[in-house]
Amino acid sequence: MNVQDRPRTILTPSVLATGLIVALLSGIGSTAGAEQVERIVRVANVTTEAPYQPMTAVEGRLSIAGSDTMRPLLVKLAADFSRNHSKAKVAVEGGGSSQGLREFVLGLSGQRRGDKARGTGTEGASSVTVFASSRALNEQESGHFTSRFGYEPLAIPIAMDAVAIYVHASNPIPRLSLEQLASIYGTGAAAPLATWGQLGLGERWSQAPIDVYGRDNRSGTKTFFSELVLQGKPQKPTVLEEPGSASEVLAIARNPFAIGYAGIGFTISDIRVVPLAKTENDPAVPPTAESVTTGAYPLSRPLYLYINSDPTSAMHPVLLEFLRYVNSAQGQAVVLAAKAYPLPQTTLETNQTLLTRVPQ
């Protein structure tokens, strides 16, 4: 039976409360309760295939390189996938989007066959065939790939994410706009913002400096933020750049006057997320499953896997089965447990249809 012939199951709240999603979340250590699961999946409008059933047993190695933001999500997906395919090894490499893109385009890997993948407990692969990217590739990047291989990379969104604006938990700032963020992070603003008092905070905040944190040049999240917020203008040289999202949010948690940005999955105690408006006259919107899925939250984005697979040849069995798994109810439950948001129904159906047409 192929993918499109299997019976479809609608993930209604009653199914979720007792079925696959809650069971999977409990099994991989999520703190989300059944009520939260029902709410998030319901507003995300997730309609997907029946629970994942392997098409066939597969074995071999697969290497995924790239986004620091996506690494925790991919580690969870790889671990759960291996429960169904014990002889299939999925290695997840970090290092940021810039390094991952180079390895993907050049067909390289930071791991040698037999090496242990960093922190995953799985074996490495000889080359990168899957690139994890927290933003869409631009025309030049896609062009480099196509020039080398003779075909375009296959883009598969696997989850939805929000680039959240974080401050210390004690900071009372109620909202920010994209314009204000541009004045905080960028040069050349008509009214540069340097203190929390300039944003309307009083008392001890009135003269407190805004300590600005961000990501370094290896980060796809930095590129996404720069394009949408700074719109191509230079970043202030005083921005404190961190090598990873985890180190950035930890720095914010230690500094009452800090501000920074990272994927929503990096929320920790001692920091909080600030609702965001497109302009100062628009309502501020917090990042939620609903606001991210509909695009109401200004810094919503898909998370992508870019695939190196010749469209005229059969896709590697481990890669095809992994993509089928990610786009199943089971895979999307893991997405939710990893603090990202499931894909909308229309995107899942597009992905699933595409995978039925891949040469096998």
DSSP-assigned states of every residue in 235-291: BPTT-EEESSHHHHHHHHHH-TTEEEEEEGGG--TTEEEPPEESSTTSPPB---HHH
Q: Cα 300 to chain center, whole Å? A: 10
pLDDT score of 5 more than 80 = no
- Both 165 and 281 in a single domain? yes
Residue at 329 is within a domain? yes
Query: Which of 279, 300, 321 is the endpoint of a domain?
Result: 300
Same domain assignment for residues 171 and 244: yes
* Residue 102, domain member (yes or no): yes
pTM (two decimals): 0.81
Domain match, 311 and 296 both:
no
**What's the farthest any 2 CA atoms get from each other in the chain?**
67
Question: Looking at residue 91, which CATH number applies to its domain?
Answer: 3.40.190.10
**What gap in Å lies between CA 143 and CA 183, rounded to an integer?**
33
Note whether 62 and 135 are same-domain residues: yes
Q: State the pLDDT at residue 50.
A: 56
Question: Could you tell me what percent of the chain has a pLDDT over 90?
Answer: 66
165 and 153, same structural domain?
no
The verdict on residue 5 lying in a domain is: no
pLDDT band for position 80 (cuts 50, 70, 90): very high
Residues 92 and 174 in one domain: no
Q: CB 1: neighbour CB atoms within 10 A?
A: 8
Q: What is the pLDDT of residue 108?
A: 67
Q: From 300, 323, 348, give the residue that closes a domain.
A: 300
Q: Is residue 88 part of a domain?
A: yes
Query: What is the chain's mean pLDDT, rounded?
Result: 84
Helix (H, G, I), strand (E, B) or coil at 319: helix
Residue appearing with tokens 């079925």: 19
Same domain, 52 and 109: yes
Give the alpha-carbon dihedral of 196, 175, 171, 33, to 10 degrees. -160
Q: Specify the range with the lowest mean pLDDT, choosing from 13-27, 95-109, 124-138, 335-349.
A: 13-27
Angle between helices 317-326 and 329-337 (to 10 degrees): 70
Does 28 fall in a domain? no
Span between the terminal Cα atoms of the chain, in Å? 14
184 & 149 share domain: no
**Statement to judge: residues 101 and 174 lie in one domain:** no
278, 300, 322 - which closes a domain: 300
Q: pLDDT tens across 22-76, in order? A: 444 444 444 344 444 444 444 444 444 457 888 888 999 998 989 999 999 999 9
53 C-beta neighbours (distance < 10 Å), count: 14
Q: Classify the C-alpha dihedral 224-245-335-98 as positive or negative.
A: positive
Lowest mean per-residue pLDDT among 42-51, 140-149, 189-198: 42-51
**Residue that is written with structure tokens 């992508």 in the block:** 304
Q: Are residues 151 and 170 in the same domain?
A: no
Residue 22: inside a domain:
no
Are residues 92 and 181 located together in one domain of the fold?
no
Residue 343 lies in a domain: yes
Question: Can you give the residue range of the structural domain that contains 186?
Answer: 161-300
Please say if the pLDDT value at position 6 is more than 90: no
Handedness of CA 274, 278, 279, 285 (dihedral sign): negative
Query: Rounded distance, CA 278 to CA 41, Å?
Result: 26
Is the domain of 155 the same as that of 177?
A: no
Outline where DSSP puts E strands in the chain: 8-10, 47-49, 60-66, 88-95, 130-133, 154-168, 176-177, 211-215, 240-242, 258-263, 271-273, 276-277, 300-307
Q: How many domains does the structure of the chain reveal?
A: 2
Residue 187 lies in a domain: yes
